[in-house]
Amino acid sequence: MGTALRFVWFWTFWHWSKESFRAEMLLRGPLNGVAGNWDEWFHHEACAEEQAAIAEVGGSERAQRDFVQWLLHTWATEAVPGDNSEAPVFVLRELARVAPFDRWSALLDFRTRPASAGICAIVLAEESAGKSTDLRRVDAVVLPVEPSVIGGTIAADDFQVEMADLNASRQAVVTVLSGSGLARLLARWVALGPRAYSRWLAVILNIGWFAVAGLLAYLLFGPEPGSWLPPLSATLVALWITLMFVSAVGLGTQIRAAWQTGKKLAAHLEQDEIRMTMPGQLALKGGSAGFAFSLSVLSAIHRAYPHAAKRSWLWQRFFARLDSSNRSRAATGVITPDGRVRPVLIEPKLRACAEQNDVGEIFAPKQRDASQRKLDQIHTTLRTAEAARNQSSSGVAPSPGYAAESHRPRIHRCQHLADAIAKIGALSSPWQAGMNAAALALSGVMLAALPDLGCILLPPPPPAAVAPSSPSPYFLWVSLDTKRPDFFQVVLESQAWVNRRADVAPRNSTPASVRAEIRLVRATRFNEKPNFEEGTVWIERRPRLLLREYAPTERVGRYSLRYLFRLGYE
């Protein structure tokens, strides 16, 4: 018999379920209420042939496995709207609870396997001062809804909670996926986070930044570069621009991908329904489980739409680490719709975590008494008490456990849901933060030095000597028509006057001009009659970089003293 025909009874159930929901006989949609709907159909609607066909499939484990595969791959493709990967798994998990699937060995895994990697809320039982049983696993599942039902809702399945608290958790996730929370996460990642480059590219970029630092240091503090100045400057500028370009493109690409992915996932949250479960059938008082709910919803949205995050390295990294931890995580904190984590009563919750050996990480609000030191104190006190109990009961001193430190949970203090994402995704790297700070500082220096480097690489045109000349016979003014006077200097060479060099600078004394002012001092040789109009004034280029001035290079102008004395008067 073909696979489609072997399992046609499931289609019959599915269509009955859809029609009954449409006719408003069933309250819950076909996906949402699949377990109860199946139970009703199986006991009251399935005909004898269908019952027999179901029994036949249930009769062999191989046929059961075929059914599971068919449901996951064939049925899901046609029946589940919106490419939701979690929905068929959810259906199997739900069906595994009801007859006759509750006896199928092929569904054992779906009966026992937890839905997610495990985020625990720390919810204290009445009058509890913090016990390991106060850690309660929170599971969320994101399901598509029927077109006639408004989505974007969140509901608690087997516990009672204020709807405002649940909605705040959901809204916080939306914010961190596509709102101000994401901007905060991205800003943090840009400043402190590791980059998405391959290892070799990261090494090359790091070497590049070291080269920029080295070149800058050489040019600023090293020996006179002479004719190497232009090629060294060109190398420095090209290297810096390349590094900036690669960094900007890398960051821009990742930010864009993260933004688009977050937007896509947030859109799913706006359309789909979230169902939360927590064991214990509790009626929650207070909103301190909100932080755990949000983390659980984040895990659920990725399980439902794993392909959506594929394009973003940042989200991919976070979700992979969220789902792969072999030790569970616990979270406590009131979460606000904008993603902020508010303080809670923390000490009994830390004690509950310290009692539970499986907890690897604790996410808590940033408050004074939520510290690693405090947690370690509680942990040590508990272990000491435990050791004392063991000793008194057995009469033998316990042997020291040298691996005990590794079991200590780590506490992460978070002001915002984005901080928890950064911690879980290991989006902080001290090395990268150091490199970023260094790159930022180098870029600041480079930006300040760019005009000077530009003048070294593209020298300003040679200036001409212009009026005004000095009104005093004791001074020689060499006025130049240039916008970069600091890149030139003037040299007086004469038999009659003491030779001098002078800087060119803007002078504000009347008449204002850009000029070099040389005080004229007679040379002391009087063996012949001096010709005070004899002499040459040279204009030289004098490159500089920030505070460093290099030796003059080429001479770009030559004027006789006679010409300069008369300039502007004749």
Partner 1 sequence: MKTELPIERVLAWRVAQAEADAPPAPRAARLLELSRAWWERWPESFERLVTQLGSIRVNYGHAMVAEPRGRGYPVPAIVARTNVEIGSLAEILYFNVASARLRLRFQVQPPLDPAEPQLEVTFIAVDGPRPLFVAPAVLAPSGEYRVDAELPEALARAWAEIKVTDRMPFRFVLREATPP
**Interface with partner 1 (CB under 8 A):** 20, 23-28, 33, 35-37, 39-40, 43-44, 94, 97-99, 102, 149-150, 152-153, 155, 158, 160, 273, 281, 283
For residues 69 and 10, give the distance between their C-alpha atoms in angstroms, rounded to a whole number: 13
Q: Measured from the CB atom, is 95 or 453 closer to partner 1?
A: 95
Rank residues 158 and 481 by Cβ distance to partner 1 and give the closer one: 158
- DSSP letter for each residue of 64-113: HHHHHHHIIIIIHHHHSGGG-SHHHHHHHHHHTTSTTGGG-GGGHHHHHS
Q: What are phi and psi of 181, to 5 degrees?
A: -65, -40
- The answer to whether the CB of 37 falls within 8 A of the CB of 15 is no
In terms of CB distance, is 171 or 288 closer to partner 1? 171
CB of 150 to partner 1, least distance (A): 5
Q: Please, what is the minimum distance in Å from the beta carbon of residue 43 to partner 1?
A: 7
Report angle CA 515, 519, 525 to the nearest 5 degrees: 135
Closest to partner 1 by CB, 26 or 140: 26
Residue closer to partner 1, measured from CB, 152 or 286: 152
Q: What minimum distance in Å lies between the beta carbon of 153 and partner 1?
A: 5
Q: Give the residue with the Cβ less far from partner 1, 285 or 555.
A: 285
Beta carbon of residue 237, minimum distance to partner 1 (angstroms, whole number): 57
What does 278-291 look like in DSSP terms, one character per residue?
-TT--B--SSTTHH
What is the distance between the alpha carbons of residues 154 and 166, in angstroms, rounded to a whole number? 7
Nearest approach, Cβ of residue 332 and partner 1 (Å): 23
529, two tokens: 């009659």
AA identity, residue 231: P
Q: Which of 235, 239, 210 is nearest to 225 (CA)?
A: 235
User: Up-side HSE of residue 260: CA atoms within 13 Å toward CB?
Assistant: 12
Please state, in angstroms and rounded to a whole number, the distance separating the CA atoms of residues 262 and 267. 8
Closest distance to partner 1 from the beta carbon of 345 (Å): 24
Least Å distance between CB 99 and partner 1?
Answer: 7
18 versus 407: smaller Cβ distance to partner 1: 18
Kindly tell me which of 337 and 511 has the beta carbon lying closer to partner 1: 337
Q: Provide the 3-class DSSP secondary structure of residue 539.
A: strand
* Alpha carbons within 13 A on the beta-carbon side of 336: 12
Closest distance to partner 1 from the beta carbon of 34 (Å) = 9
96 contacts 110 by C-beta, under 8 angstroms: yes
Which is nearer to partner 1, 40 or 517 (by Cβ)?
A: 40
Which residue, 6, 75, 69, 66, is CA-closest to 34? 75
* 8 Å CB contact between 88 and 76: yes
Contacts of 132 (CB under 8 A, 6+ apart): 352, 355, 356
Q: Report how far apart the first and last C-alpha atoms of the chain are (Å, whole number).
A: 115
Edge-to-edge, what's the strand order for the sheet holding 359-365?
Answer: 153-156, 273-277, 135-143, 119-122, 328-331, 359-365, 410-414
Q: Supply the minimum distance, in Å, between the C-beta of residue 12 and partner 1.
A: 17
Residue closer to partner 1, measured from CB, 22 or 562: 22
DSSP H or E run through 8: helix 8-22
Rounded CA-CA distance 111/104 in Å is: 10
CB of 283 to partner 1, least distance (A): 7
Q: Tokens 């489609």 appear where?
A: 4
Nearer to partner 1, 163 or 204 (CB): 163
Query: Collapsing DSSP states into helix, strand and coil, what is residue 462?
Result: coil
Q: Are 506 and 463 in contact (CB under 8 A)?
A: no
Residue 171 beta carbon to partner 1: minimum distance, rounded to whole angstroms: 12
What is the distance between the alpha carbons of residues 410 and 364, in angstroms, rounded to a whole number?
11
Q: Least CB distance from residue 304 to partner 1, whole Å?
A: 17
Nearer to partner 1, 48 or 283 (CB): 283
